[in-house]
Amino acid sequence: MKGEQAMTLDKFFIDQVLTILKEETGATAHLMAAVPVGGGSINQSFHLQTTKGSYFLKTKENAPPAFFEKEARGLLLLSRAGAQVPHVMASSDTFLLLEWIPKGSWTPSRM
Q: For the residues of 8-22, what is the DSSP string, one character each?
A: GS-HHHHHHHHHHHH
- What's the pTM? 0.80
pLDDT digits (tens, 9 = 90+) for 22-60: 888 888 889 999 898 887 678 889 999 999 899 999 988
pLDDT digits (tens, 9 = 90+) for 69-109: 999 999 999 999 999 899 999 888 889 999 998 877 655 55
Q: What pLDDT does residue 62 have? A: 85
Task: Give Cα separations from 35 to 44, 82, 84, 87 (angstroms).
Answer: 11, 31, 25, 20
